[in-house]
Every structure is written in structure tokens, then in C-alpha cells.
A and B are shown apart, each in its own frame.
Chain A
């Protein structure tokens, strides 16, 4: 199969020993020479992914292919990949030259062993067998793979081991690089990172920026096929960081090697990369060019994370027409009529116009000078709008605003209702979601029915009786029907959970509350909760919509 992918990650997952899923079903391919960035908040799995490519962590599931060959279980020292570490990780006991030459001195160049007649000597390759056995054991011990998944891999390895045990193969002797070659390579690397005069200096006498350059030189001097950079500019000050960004970009085009870069700084990602991979909770949210990601964010998380944005709830009211902020806007995206959508508008896409020409009117409540322009907060009804403009308007004055159709980005809503597909009904006619009982109205399962004294549902005409004990149902709760109770000791709470996510959506927040049993409740609220807050949840009886999984007749008694 001929393609120019240098590295491919196929269904890669990483599950740590404590069962936390750091990376979940990650699929990605990287072209040769590409500058790709993993972008996401801390804890999103971007560093873990990078460490799996480097070989410090092995994937629990899936494969990593380098030039089409599976390297998933290869240790870091056997991969043609080098890394620039977060805090440089320079060897403090060596000077600049020795740091850079470190990898070169370890390098062994294989030379085919030949006998007197010039024929290659064939030998049993014990080292290869040893490596294969190591890999065999690694897969065998992997508790995240099922036996069926393991078997073909293990069989494949076993047949390879058997082959190498019986078949002598060409043997190699290894030569080291001469000190002259090392000298030349180090000098070239120092030139690339602009540190020519400093080769004899001690690491401790270098500034942060210089240490950074040494770290890069130490990695690129080995001529890796892929250079991994784990937030390499995080420790530098702002101005230095900006300079280094440009320099790294320049180095990338000069060297022509593939760069995989990890950062949580969205601006850095947009400035430097050819391709950005936005991640959250170990899952890829969007892959695309910086421009694509900025202009066409796939969901509210990406829009919120990349650049500043206004996010609103909107409704499609016609062909390429969307209503939000109490106004009907033309837009470019087509969604079904009445679909609830997230609308994202970048602050720079909202324009001030003369009185009378406006689409929407608001009141300026705040103005911040940002150097290049002013950032305004404008209230339209109870919605906040963030606008950027170079013109100066006083706080308190009226604002007349328009938004062009190409400035309105519409995304399918992540959630419109909470759907629980594995709910069931207990003997008290309560619905069990996440092992907590919610009182509900089971009579909705049979239209027009009522409950008798024994808790059975009696149909309208009294002819049929149903007992829904243990019935599997799908329960649905609308986002705005979930009541949040601050006092988690209160007996009104039906379930208690932790706020794990919040997004500001114009005039309210959308939260995700996760219970101990990992069930999520999404709700909207005008009030602000912090991440990790513990809250109680209650739902009114009539707000839980139930749907039987099986036919009603099965429960007839």
C-alpha cells in the first residue's frame, strides 16, 4: 500500500492502571513533513498520545504504524523519533556540546558481517528473538485486549519467533560514528538553532531560551523521522515564545522532518501548524487546518476553545434562516426546519452600524482597550454579546449591530435532551436511572390509563392491566427540566453528581453533571456553578418521558 503517511494511529486507546481512559479510540494519520499540533485543555490526553508515539507509553488497544510498520510495542530507543521535553530535560552534568552529541555517541551503524570470500555470514539472531519474546509477553499481559484480539497477534509473533529460531539470518557488526562526524553534525545542529558560540558552556549558565535551543538541537541532530515537541515553549516568556514560534516554523520548513507538537495554547497552534487536532477528554473533537478550525468549528467546545466566540441557542426557522438574539438572521448553513442549534459568532464578525441600519440593538455595558481594538460587552435583552471594534463608543450608549451571513456558524447541538437508554422501572413504579430511583408517571406508557391500588396500570376501558416491574425503558429528560439543588444533603435530591463541564451559551450556562456511576445529566441554568461542584439533581414526575423497549403487550397481566 503506497501512501505518504509517515505515522498512522489506528483505534488507539490508552487506559491507565487505575482504569482512567486517557485516550479513547484515536484515529489519525500524519503526512511526511507535516507540522501537526495536538491542542486541548490539560488532561485531554494530548501528552499521552505524544508519549505513545515516542514509546514511553504503550497503547492499551490499537496500533501505531510508522511507515506502515507496527511500532506499538517498540521501546523509545528503537524508534527513529526524538522528543523535545516540556522542561527541556537537558543533562545537567554535561555541557552544551556533550548534550547535543549524546544521541550521536550512542548511535550504531550496522555493517553486514562477511567472511573471507565476501559472503555474508548467516547466524541465528538471538537478539531479534529476545525482542519478539518481549513483545509477545507485553501483548499477553495486556488486560485491555480480549482473547480474540490477542490471538492473531500472538500467533503471528510466535510464528516469527519460530522462524528466527530455525533460520539463520544475516548478522551485523556495529560501528560507531567517528568523533569527526559527530563534530560536524553537532556544529550543524548548533548552527540551525543559532548557538554556535556556546558549545563549551555549562547547561546551568544558559538562559531559558538558550536551553530550549539546546534541547531542540539535541533532538534534531539525530535526524529523526519525526520530531515530537511537548509544550516546548511553556516555560518561556511571552515575547520569547513568539520569536521561538516563528523560528520553529522556519526550522520545520528547513529540515523537512515531520513535527508533532503538543500545546494548550490555541494561538500557538493556529500560528504554527499545518494541521490542528483539537482534543477533549481523550477524544478528537476536530481535525483540520487552522483556518478550517477557526472558521468552521465543529461543535461548541471547539468554538469556545479556539479564539473568542459568542455562543447562542438558535432555532432554524426556514431555509438558511436562523433565529437567535430575538432576530431572524440569514445564514449559510442549511439545517432542518425547527432544529435547535448552537450558533457561534466571532466577536470580529459583529459590526457597529449607523442608527436605522441595524439588525439588533443593545446597550454597551463594558469596554476594554486591547491595544489593537476595543472589546465591548453589549447586552441584548438578557444575552451578552462580545464585539470587537477599532472605534471608540462610550459605555452606556446604545449599540446598533449587524452580523453578515458568513459570520454566523451553525452547529448541530450536542444535546437537546438527556436520553438514558438503559433505564428500567422498579416495583414502586419509579424509573431507575443510574441506580437511583426517580419518581415518574408510568401511565404515560399506556395512553389514557390510570394506576390501581396495587400499582398496576389499568387501561382506559379497564380491560387490560399491566405490571411494568422490571420493564426496560428509554427515559428522556429535557435539559431545562432538570432541577438543581445546591444542598446535596437535602432529601429532595434524587441523585448527586459533580459538575464536569460548563459552557456559557449567551444568556445561560450549559452544564454536565456526572454521578458516581458515570451517568451524565446535562442541564441548562442561568446560575454559575464551578467545575467539580457537587450538586443534587431532581426531576419532576411529569418531566420524565418514558418509552418501552418491548411491546406493551408483554407486560399485560
Chain B
């Protein structure tokens, strides 16, 4: 039989990639998470994780860092994005580029440089590990917040803002009642870009706190480095579960948003 090319064959490479680098690794993670050293099915890792205070502490600390980082990035990034998207203050793309440019530099190098600058300023991992790590996290993830917020701000419906003023809003009310609700999709996207990567970040706390602060990512890495494949895999599963939960939460918002856009067309 003669081979006939069909369009659906184009997705074969993608599927191969997906199976090789996503499905199979996840299968391995789950496999290791629920087996013991001899390959027999067991809940040892689960029990170990939830009974070791140290590991629970790392999880809680990571969640705290992630939440705080997300909030700080949003608080700083939101006004910046708003100003950048406003033609009155920024008539060209150059300033946006300045804010986004750090994203293009390898973040290991960037973090190394940050550490040197901080040391030079007298703030280093030795003296204030929490502050140094937080600063590094915010600095690294700020562009990821600004970019989605900026695109959302560009699409703000000017006439809705005018309608709000027309109906009696003063400047503050315009902001809280029209601009913020309109930019919620951007806020969600930005939060997603920051929250989970911070949880699993490894280089930043490692470098900036000089190993004093251990986040979930560091902890997983250390486990694998010490050949604790089963317990580390279980921590990776925890990570997957948290990603799943956060996606479920944010989906409610984004779904509503896309349906609105569809209806508008």
C-alpha cells in the first residue's frame, strides 16, 4: 500500500517528545515514589515525608517564600506595567525592553552577579540569608510579572474606564472598580509564572543564602544527590500535586475570561 501523507502525521514528533520527556519521566517519578529500595511497592516514602519535621518545614517555608514572592512581585510589577502601557508616560517599547531584558540572561549567571553586588553592599548570605534570598527571587521573577501584566494593560478597554468615570467614579474608584477587574487575567497569569517556579527554585536560595535556606527544589536536589531516589521522587510527586491544585484554582478565572472573549467575536 502506498504511503499517503496526512496532516495528522505532523504531530508525531510532538507526541514522541511528549512521551519521552514528559510521560515516561512522570511515570518514573511515580514509580520511585511508591516503591522501596528493592523495587517493591510501599508507602515508606510517604510515611517518611509526613513524619519528618524537617521536610514538612521545608515545604512550609517554600510555600511562604512563594506566596511572599508572588505578592511582592505583583505589588511592584503592577504599577510598572500600568505606567509602561500608558502612552502618556511611555511612547516607545524601549523602556519595556529594559525591564524585560534580564530574562534573556542566563539566570545562574545573573544570580551570581546579584550575589556579588549584594556582598559588595554588605548584604550577603552570611549576614542576612532571608533578605538576600527574597531580594534575589523578586529580582529574578519581576520580568515574568511585568510582561503578562503589560500585555493585559495594553488591552484595557478605555471606554469602560470612561464609563466608570461617567457613572461617578473618582480616580481611586476607577482604579479599583474598572482597571483592576479588567486586569485580573493578567494578574492570574503573572501569579502562575511566579508561584510554582519559586517553589522549585534551587539556584537562587542556594547561591544567595550560601546554602542556609533550603527550599523544596534544593531539598529534592539534595535527596537525589545523596541517592535517596525514593523519598526525593515522592517530594517531586508532592510538587506535581501542588501544581495541579494551583492550576485548578486559576482555571476558574481564566476559563471565564476566554469565554467572554469568544462571545465578543
Of the four ranges (under 10, 10 to 19, 20 to 34, 35 or more), the interface on chain B belongs to 20 to 34
A102 and B264 in contact, given A77-B169, A85-B159 (Cβ under 8 angstroms): no
The answer, yes or no, to whether A103 is at the interface (CB within 8 Å) is yes
The answer to whether A103 touches B168 (Cβ under 8 A) is yes
The answer to whether A91 touches B178 (Cβ under 8 A) is yes
How far, in whole Å, are A54 and B162 apart by their CA atoms in the complex?
10
Residues from chain B with Cβ under 8 Å of A87 in the complex? 159
The answer to whether A107 touches B168 (Cβ under 8 A) is yes
The answer to whether B168 touches A204 (Cβ under 8 A) is no
B160 contacts which of A76, A82, A89 (Cβ < 8 Å)? Answer: A89
The answer, yes or no, to whether A86 is at the interface (CB within 8 Å) is yes
The answer, yes or no, to whether A316 is at the interface (CB within 8 Å) is no
Q: Please report whether the interface of chain B is mostly helix, strand, loop or mixed according to DSSP.
A: helix
The answer, yes or no, to whether A514 is at the interface (CB within 8 Å) is no
CB distance from A106 to the nearest CB of B (A): 4
Residues from chain B with Cβ under 8 Å of A90 in the complex? 160, 163
Name A62-96 residues within 8 Å CB distance of B.
75-77, 81-83, 85-87, 89-94
CB distance from A200 to the nearest CB of B (A): 15
The answer, yes or no, to whether B42 is at the interface (CB within 8 Å) is no
A54 and B167 in contact, given A91-B181, A93-B184 (Cβ under 8 angstroms): no
Interface string of B167-186 (1 = CB under 8 A from A): 11110010001100110100
Residues from chain B with Cβ under 8 Å of A204 in the complex? 259-260, 263-264
The answer, yes or no, to whether A20 is at the interface (CB within 8 Å) is no
The answer to whether A89 touches B157 (Cβ under 8 A) is yes
Name B150-201 residues within 8 Å CB distance of A.
157, 159-160, 162-170, 173, 177-178, 181-182, 184
Q: Which of B166, B170, B264 has the most CB atoms of chain A within a 10 A radius of its CB?
A: B166
CB distance from A231 to the nearest CB of B (A): 12
How far, in whole Å, are A53 and B166 apart by their CA atoms in the complex?
11
Interface string of B253-265 (1 = CB under 8 A from A): 0000001100110
The answer to whether A89 touches B167 (Cβ under 8 A) is no
- Of all chain B residues, the one with the shortest Cβ separation from A228 is B166
Known: A56-B166, A77-B167, A106-B173. 16 other contacts (CB 8 A): A56-B165, A75-B165, A76-B166, A83-B163, A85-B163, A87-B159, A89-B159, A90-B160, A91-B160, A92-B157, A92-B182, A102-B164, A106-B168, A204-B264, A218-B163, A222-B168
CB distance from B48 to the nearest CB of A (A): 46
Which residues of B are interface residues toward A (Cβ below 8 A)? 157, 159-160, 162-170, 173, 177-178, 181-182, 184, 259-260, 263-264
Number of contacting residues on A, CB 8 A?
Answer: 28
A92 and B160 in contact, given A204-B260, A204-B263, A204-B264 (Cβ under 8 angstroms): yes
CB distance from B163 to the nearest CB of A (A): 4
The answer to whether A93 touches B166 (Cβ under 8 A) is no
Ordered by A's residue number, 23 sampled pairs between the chains whose C-beta atoms are within 8 Å are: A56-B165, A75-B165, A77-B166, A77-B167, A77-B168, A82-B167, A83-B162, A83-B166, A85-B159, A85-B163, A87-B159, A89-B162, A90-B163, A92-B157, A93-B182, A93-B184, A102-B164, A106-B167, A106-B168, A106-B173, A202-B260, A203-B260, A222-B168
A77 contacts which of B159, B165, B260 (Cβ < 8 Å)? Answer: B165
The answer to whether B159 touches A86 (Cβ under 8 A) is yes
- Of all chain A residues, the one with the shortest Cβ separation from B263 is A204
- Of all chain A residues, the one with the shortest Cβ separation from B261 is A204
The answer, yes or no, to whether A205 is at the interface (CB within 8 Å) is yes
How far, in whole Å, are A90 and B263 apart by their CA atoms in the complex?
14
CB distance from B2 to the nearest CB of A (A): 49
How far, in whole Å, are A103 and B170 apart by their CA atoms in the complex?
12
Residues from chain B with Cβ under 8 Å of A85 in the complex? 159, 162-163
CB distance from A340 to the nearest CB of B (A): 47
The answer to whether B162 touches A56 (Cβ under 8 A) is yes
How far, in whole Å, are A77 and B177 apart by their CA atoms in the complex?
14
How far, in whole Å, are A56 and B173 apart by their CA atoms in the complex?
17
The answer to whether B168 touches A89 (Cβ under 8 A) is no
Residues from chain A with Cβ under 8 Å of B160 in the complex? 89-92
Interface string of A201-227 (1 = CB under 8 A from B): 011110000000000001100100000
CB distance from B33 to the nearest CB of A (A): 41
Residues from chain B with Cβ under 8 Å of A202 in the complex? 260
The answer to whether A222 touches B181 (Cβ under 8 A) is no
How far, in whole Å, are A93 and B164 apart by their CA atoms in the complex?
13
Residues from chain A with Cβ under 8 Å of B177 in the complex? 102
The answer to whether B159 touches A82 (Cβ under 8 A) is no
The answer to whether B167 touches A102 (Cβ under 8 A) is yes
How far, in whole Å, are A410 and B163 apart by their CA atoms in the complex?
45
Residues from chain B with Cβ under 8 Å of A77 in the complex? 165-170
Residues from chain A with Cβ under 8 Å of B157 in the complex? 89, 92
Residues from chain A with Cβ under 8 Å of B165 in the complex? 56, 75-77
